[in-house]
Chain A
């Protein structure tokens, strides 16, 4: 199970030191990613940011992400609305370049709490990283 949070990078880094014992090594966010979301898992940790930000309800958006941890083989990106138990009506396409990537074609069709889920696979194993967000 992944632990997740959305905070400013300084706060996130400080919390990461306190909370991530036994989890993937925290890594600094890529240059210029101030305000990006972070997700810490057992094997990997991720920085992610939507484009446009904030995420609009009912419009397509894309997500850029950067993973820290062992080599990454494959990443799938999904959305999930836990209160209603449904996902998105669109299947995003992911392009991966080393540990970074972009998912295009996401659409959150309802207001409220959504999870942004990265399914990460590599030689080291597979892991579900769950970030939280509320589209505007």
Chain B
């Protein structure tokens, strides 16, 4: 966008840039090299500030009556690590979302009872999502949590099996009663959906901590030069590319570095020869067939106050091959990348964007991604910037055992 506005053709730009550089030098007698630090323009500053503040304000999810309730959080945590929720008794949520691997499994495609088609998404900052899953087939966190319990390749216990387990196990019945204020009822599907809601209450607590980028961003907002100076020069140059020539921030927008929507980023979507992952196209179709949406009977909010996205979402052929724009906080901890884990490192991702084949994008004529032809240094700068989106300090402990011994 900026490039288009400048009105300087791509061919002319290096020359103009060189000329500008020469003039800048001639005005600085006695200075041998430009300082590595530079000031962001007012427009750049405006764009940078939009990626904060962090963490953003948040409120309980009205579609989930136990959102934010401490007893539901404790119950959800216990469920998350409980392998009895799988048909084989050997797979828990943590099999593919390990707390010590930033809630992923480190595999290109996850393996539960069998291997699935996609890369395990990390579970940070979920409370800020509009859609869930790489294809956005779920419109709430609680509905997303039901998916592995229904999919026989993952855990597959299903509503009947899950409800039987809760009724039969004293500790789970007790956890349910505390979380929901009543004993698990006779309606299996209701109990099943409630497990998704307790899991959601737990996962909502997983918000990433402050990063070096956040400190820089806030120092920029305050006009604090010393605070800004602590941000490495390479990251600063990478940030300039990210919000400028790279066009990254149109999709990786806002405090969570995602606009919450879907795009074709030029990543091949063959699952195996002859079978493609339809991405968002399949996601909207699944959403429309699902009983577990904001428009269905399990939404606890009688006003349907968060259901606009589901009511108005639009299906188009160009949704084929689109995947959700992932947030980039803690991305350095969640390799491999993209919906099927096809890229091993952040450097690979940046090289992908640098050499992207514009003709192969199925974006229905959309023009945002372009071949960037970045130099080796520019690629390293972008990676340095992405690494500053990693939270500082030791990771918080996640108690993997139910803390609540009194619940029997």
Contact = CB atoms under 8 A, between A and B. Distances in A.
A86 B364 contact: yes
Interface string A85-119: 11011111100000000001101011110000000
A90 B250 contact: no
A104 B251 contact: no
Contacts of B47: 111
Contacts of B249: 111
A91 B314 contact: yes
Contacts of A71: none
Interface stretch (B186-194, B347-355, B365-373): B365-373
Interface residues on B, range: 20 to 34
Interface stretch (B22-30, B75-83, B304-312, B377-385): B304-312
Interface in A57-93: 57-58, 60, 83-86, 88-93
Nearest to B1: A83
Among B312, B366, B368, which residue has the most Cβ atoms of chain A within 10 A?
B312
A109 B260 contact: yes
Given A83-B4, A85-B365, A58 B254 contact: yes
Nearest to B311: A105
Interface string B288-313: 00000000000000000000110111
Contacts of B312: 60, 90-93, 104-105, 107
A136 to B, nearest CB: 9
A80 B112 CA distance: 42
Contacts of A92: 312
Contact of B250 (A60, A104, A112): A112
Contacts of B216: none
A90 B309 contact: yes
A84 B367 contact: yes
A55 to B, nearest CB: 14
Interface in B234-288: 249-251, 253-254, 259-262
Given A84-B367, A85-B367, A90 B251 contact: no
A105 B251 CA distance: 20
A84 B253 contact: no
A58 B367 contact: no
A84 B247 CA distance: 11
B101 interface: no
B250 A89 contact: no
B170 interface: no
Contacts of B364: 86
A58 B308 contact: no
A60 B310 CA distance: 11
Contact of A60 (B50, B254, B262, B309): B309
A48 to B, nearest CB: 18
Contacts of A109: 253, 259-261
B93 to A, nearest CB: 29
A56 to B, nearest CB: 10
Nearest to A57: B253
Contact of A58 (B253, B311, B363, B368): B253
27 contacts: A57-B253, A58-B253, A58-B259, A84-B368, A85-B365, A85-B366, A85-B367, A86-B366, A88-B314, A89-B261, A89-B262, A89-B314, A90-B313, A90-B314, A91-B312, A91-B313, A92-B312, A93-B312, A104-B312, A105-B308, A105-B311, A107-B312, A109-B253, A109-B260, A110-B251, A111-B253, A112-B250
Interface of B: 1, 4, 47, 50, 249-251, 253-254, 259-262, 308-309, 311-314, 363-368
Interface of A: 57-58, 60, 83-86, 88-93, 104-105, 107, 109-112
Given A58-B260, A89-B314, A91-B314, 20 more contacts: A57-B254, A58-B253, A58-B259, A60-B312, A84-B1, A86-B363, A88-B314, A89-B261, A91-B312, A93-B312, A105-B312, A107-B309, A107-B312, A109-B253, A110-B259, A111-B47, A111-B250, A111-B253, A112-B1, A112-B250
